[in-house]
Chain A
């Protein structure tokens, strides 16, 4: 418990650094949000900048922002007038979270069994063929796999809609693209770690004292072998975030990834800040969750800290 608390407290300075860094980066973006094709009258622009607090010195703006942030207020959106950043993100986050979770689920449900299967018969075709595929999976980026899947299943076979959002069937292509890409490193990691664990003394002991082979495999070996795999889920989630920028634009999914990219293109400083903070805190929490899961699997990790 004390450990969780310490980790949570540790997040605060990290988030503050992220906020400050993003703040200065976002404000250094050339071109203000009110620079349009038709220039606004000077006094209108001045009023607008005053309303959003853009006329004050940067450190003062940052201070004000952090105070508001501590109260859960992400400020007003500049490009969506009348909406707060919180509302804009709130309307999108569900879509991205659902997509991310389903992709992660697909990745684990494919990656881990494939890795186990490959490690159970090393150097046979059961090992070589799937591992060859995972190598391809590592090298084919999501923005190549996505269009190829769409080309085959949507345009070629006509089984799935090529893009759009609304019904569960729209989930299939984007979630599979992200899931398959993430499954590849998971499978390789599972295989490698199982290969290492199964040559350890305690596994031999278990086998020697007559534990059923399947029980040795799944209860004794797999439990330890999953440690690096669970740890990898944090970075894997970060990968899903980067993937979602591309996949959401590609499949026309109204999620956060697309929101972030549009915010950047629109120079919507408040929205850029808001999305970055949400992403960063989500990933920090996921990493904490992965570490806690690790401690639950392995008492030694729990004791060491």
Chain B
């Protein structure tokens, strides 16, 4: 995890440094495998995820059902893949929402400057002290438990950190000479945003996005766990963990498999984000 500083030579490209970070690389491959399995689940799952077979309900893992079956006789592996698809989907879309809002807000704040900027950032500070789970729970109840609303609600509260980081970076860029040069050459603000800000922010955005996904997935799982998120017969990892926790005495396998996959996915995302940051952000040299 801690590569010696001398090794990371300035002449190396970020990708070369990233490739040497074995934890991050393995995490990347793991995530690709999980994502592929989940998104291909309609074709590769051994059983339809909602197919009930009461004759073989609550069976421990066996060769017919690798991860066992739940109380309604549904195949756990198939449900795990379908649930993963939902969880990853929420993670990706909500992160995209957070990304767009965060970038717009951060860049806008840095661009207007002065008192307005202070007020905008103070607002972010204050909102981030509030319990965001509360807001997400309230809005899923208000706007119904449909998927697009969950994306929006979760993404809508996850942009705060992003806005803060983007604003700090943009402020630095704004004062830099090449941006001043572009200004004096008559480049429009939009042109500066597109040609100078965005390319320079790309690395930060990538790192931020990777580190936002686990938080977002956690939030979705929280809400689903409380029974306010994804609704049956669909499922998500949070909901499966909840169902497993309810009957863990009789059928521990219902709790173990979604918990393990969920935790491993979050772990990999964190490793990947850390690896990306170490490789592409020169300032985060690990001591």
Contact = CB atoms under 8 A, between A and B. Distances in A.
Interface of A: 14, 18, 22, 25-26, 28-30, 122-123, 128, 131, 135-136, 138-141, 143-144, 146-148, 150-151, 155, 195-196, 199, 234-235, 238, 241-242, 245-246, 249-250, 260-261, 264-265, 272, 276, 279-280, 283-284, 287
Given A14-B126, A135-B267, A261-B226, A242 B245 contact: no
Interface in B118-133: 126, 128-133
Given A28-B142, A143-B222, A264-B228, A276 B134 contact: yes
Given A135-B267, A242-B134, A276-B134, 14 more contacts: A18-B130, A26-B138, A29-B141, A122-B2, A131-B1, A141-B266, A147-B259, A242-B132, A246-B222, A246-B226, A250-B245, A279-B134, A283-B130, A284-B129
A84 to B, nearest CB: 22
Contacts of B1: 128, 131
Interface string B232-265: 0000001001101100110010010001001110
A102 to B, nearest CB: 19
Contacts of B245: 143, 146-147, 250
B256 to A, nearest CB: 9
A241 B138 contact: no
Given A241-B133, A242-B222, A147 B244 contact: yes
Contacts of A18: 130
Interface of B: 1-2, 126, 128-134, 137-139, 141-142, 144, 214, 218, 221-222, 225-228, 238, 241-242, 244-245, 248-249, 252, 255, 259, 262-264, 266-267, 270-271, 287
Contacts of B131: 238, 241-242, 279-280, 283
Contact of A195 (B126, B242, B249, B287): B287
B180 to A, nearest CB: 29
Q: Which of A144, A147, A249, A284 gathers most chain B CB within 10 Å?
A: A144
A174 to B, nearest CB: 14
A26 B138 CA distance: 7
B139 A242 contact: no
Contacts of A276: 134, 138
A50 to B, nearest CB: 24
A38 to B, nearest CB: 23
Contacts, number: 113
A139 B138 contact: no
Given A147-B255, A195-B287, A279-B131, A135 B270 contact: yes
Contacts of A150: 248
A131 B271 CA distance: 13
Given A25-B139, A123-B2, A144 B133 contact: no
B2 A141 contact: no
Nearest to B242: A143
A139 B238 CA distance: 13
B37 to A, nearest CB: 19
A144 B248 contact: no
A151 B221 contact: no
A18 B270 CA distance: 32
Contact of B263 (A22, A25, A139, A195): A139
A287 B221 contact: no
A51 to B, nearest CB: 24
A28 B144 CA distance: 11
A135 B129 CA distance: 24
A170 B1 CA distance: 39
Contacts of B2: 122-123
A264 B218 contact: no
Contacts of B129: 234-235, 238, 283-284, 287
A140 B263 contact: yes
B146 to A, nearest CB: 12
A246 B221 CA distance: 11
A139 B267 contact: yes
Q: Which 4 pairs of residues, A with B, have the shortest CB-CB distance?
A: A242-B133, A139-B266, A147-B245, A139-B267
